[in-house]
Amino acid sequence: MERNEMKSPYEERPWLKSYPPQVPPDIDIPLKSISQTFDEATEKWKNRTAIIFYGTEIKYQALREKVDRFATALFSLGIKKGDRVALLLLNSPEFVVAYYGAMKVGATITPISPVYVSSEIKHQLEDSGAETIICQDMLYGGMEKIGVKLRNVILTNITESLSSLKKYMGKSILRGVYQKMAVPSPDIVKREGFYQFQELIKKYPPHPPKVEIDPVGDVVILPYTSGTTGLPKGAMITSFNLLANEIQYQTFYPVFQEGMDVVVAYMPFYHAAGQLTALLAGILWGATLVILTTPEIDDILSSIARYNVTTFPGSPAIYETLKDYEKTDRVNWKKLKILISGADALHESTTQGWGARTGVNIHEAYGMTETTCLTHMVPLGKIKLGSVGLPLPNTMAAIVDPEKEEFLPVGELGEIVVNGPQITKGYWNKPEATKECEAIINGIRWWRTGDLGKMDEDGYFYIYDRKRDLIKYKGLRVYAREVEEVLKTHPEIKEVGVIGVKDIKVGENVKALVVLEADARGKLSEKDIIEYCQGKMAHYKIPKIVEFVGEIPKTDVGKVSRRELREQEF
């Protein structure tokens, strides 16, 4: 028998022996659309508060009406099933309305990071084929320069949902935002193809069209990710993927109670983690979302205390900051049902320091955009330092040879692959890139995560490294090659290599090792290189550290050897 046909211990799901008794190994995933699920939830919880936004409250019934009115408006603007609609929005009630409103007309939503620069926005719009964008007015400046022809531009103002605007003018929602960013003139909506978000909601009745959506076949979300290499690619996510991951998440943590929870929603909604923990597991479960536009520590702490928040999802960077923050003890963390960490590896010292300070465990989670959000989580009340947990119900995971379709023995380091109802159909219009991420072993389609790790005898998984060009800064993915390509455009840079340097506060900092042209040596400073990158890529991709070197190590085929650069660093 060939090695790739041998029965694998992973296929026996050894992690099930570590499951809590109340968590089933498999669950039923209803074959219905997210729009249908949204309608059911908003009807069931119509008198419950859905959103609290800096003091302004919105009931589920009012949210449903706004969504239906906005969906009717989109349909009237000619947006039909399968059209791509881009969202360039900060966390706000308008994001929730736009998200579900676009779904109701059968559109495919492609969320764009608010920190993207013009070239990054342009790539996502062109690659997705989006002809409609719903955009925060303060972010529109990055749109005007890109030269992409759009049919509809719908602008919204961050203060439109605030009933007590004056009270919050000095708060983080506005501080440093409207002061620094140019907001277009209100007259811009008089231009052809331009509309104002709230005016559309006022104008159109709450009677959206009836659109048949195939939960398994129709793509409803098209988030962009760089995968393991190259420019960002759209991961095709269906209603079935979204609903599966939401139910997996809530089943694995049976502390969640329908219509009873309160979630502090500061993780960005354009990101998979923000969507799952707030827009899906929150809204579809009848929770109250305390929405924060910016993740300012004081706002987070005051929201948890004031609104009796029950669930706190966060990144390792947030926990590391809170661990040593003077005001952290103002919150009784033992009152919360669960604290979850995702988007990056949680450092052991953060886990231990947090436990010593608060007496509460952080439950680590793992996943990626291509898996909707989550594939692994640490069971409730458990702690296993360094582990990202066990595969969720209905999920298979294994360790394979990074370059072959072969399973590796338990305990051996290799590439993590996953299979389950939350896994993407593939990349948008990129069948070859999709194929590169697939491994067919024993007739099962596995998705290559690009992360290197191992599984122990109890079924717990550990992440040890990533595909060599991947850097994670505050949970955001940065690809070395992308940063190198920008730096190479500098006329005085001869060669460059980019790596990640571990930093407990942010995960990894981006470091550029630069070889200057001979006549530029001694004339350019590290600051000059960093300033050159401003406006050419998102701020989190810009190198935080620059080191001038005499040469860059190469592989035998002439590529930058990042492995050697990392070895030199440590």
Q: Beta strand 84-88 with 108-111: parallel, antiparallel or unpaired?
A: parallel
Nearest to 77 by CA among 195, 218, 219: 195
Distance CA 543, CA 454 (A): 30
CATH 2.30.38.10 range(s) for the chain read 3-20+394-466
Distance CA 154, CA 89 (A): 11
pLDDT value of residue 178: 46
CATH 3.30.300.30 range(s) for the chain read 470-569
Residue 485, SS3? helix
* Residues of the chain under the 50 pLDDT cut: 1-4, 164-180, 227-228, 556-557
Structure tokens at 564: 């050697």
Q: Judge contact between 166 and 55, C-beta under 8 A.
A: no
E-strand stretches of 367-413: 376-377, 387-391, 396-400
Q: How many residues does the chain have?
A: 570
Q: Between the CA of residue 486 and those of 230, 383, 489, 497, 543, what are the distances in Å?
A: 13, 41, 6, 12, 11
Nearest to 100 by CA among 144, 140, 143, 69: 69
Structure tokens at 217: 């076949």
Task: Give 545-548 contacts, CB < 8 A, sequence gap 24+.
Answer: 545/501, 545/509, 545/510, 545/511, 545/512, 546/511, 546/512, 546/514, 547/511, 547/512, 547/513, 547/514, 548/514, 548/515, 548/516, 548/521
CATH 3.40.50.980 range(s) for the chain read 60-213
Distance CA 227, CA 292 (A): 29
pLDDT value of residue 123: 94
- Regarding the domain delimited by 3-20+394-466, which CATH topology (the fold level of the hierarchy) does it fall under? Luciferase; domain 3 (2.30.38)
Structure tokens at 449: 């995560």
**pLDDT tens-place string over residues 454-466:** 999 999 999 876 6
What residues contact residue 451 under an 8 Å CB cut-off, 6+ apart? 415, 416, 463, 465, 466, 467
- Regarding the domain delimited by 470-569, which CATH topology (the fold level of the hierarchy) does it fall under? GMP Synthetase; Chain A, domain 3 (3.30.300)
Q: How many CA atoms lie within 13 A of 256 on its CB side?
A: 25
Q: Beta strand 84-88 with 132-136: parallel, antiparallel or unpaired?
A: parallel
Q: Judge contact between 475 and 344, C-beta under 8 A.
A: yes
Domain 60-213 has CATH 3.40.50.980: yes
Q: Which residues pair with 53 in a beta bridge?
A: 56, 291
Residue 438, SS3? strand
Q: What is the 3-state secondary structure (H, E, C) of 301-360?
A: HHHHHHCCCCEEEECHHHHHHHHCCCCHHHCCHHHCCEEEECCCCCCHHHHHHHHHHHCC
Q: Judge contact between 314 and 351, C-beta under 8 A.
A: no
Structure tokens at 187: 């007259």
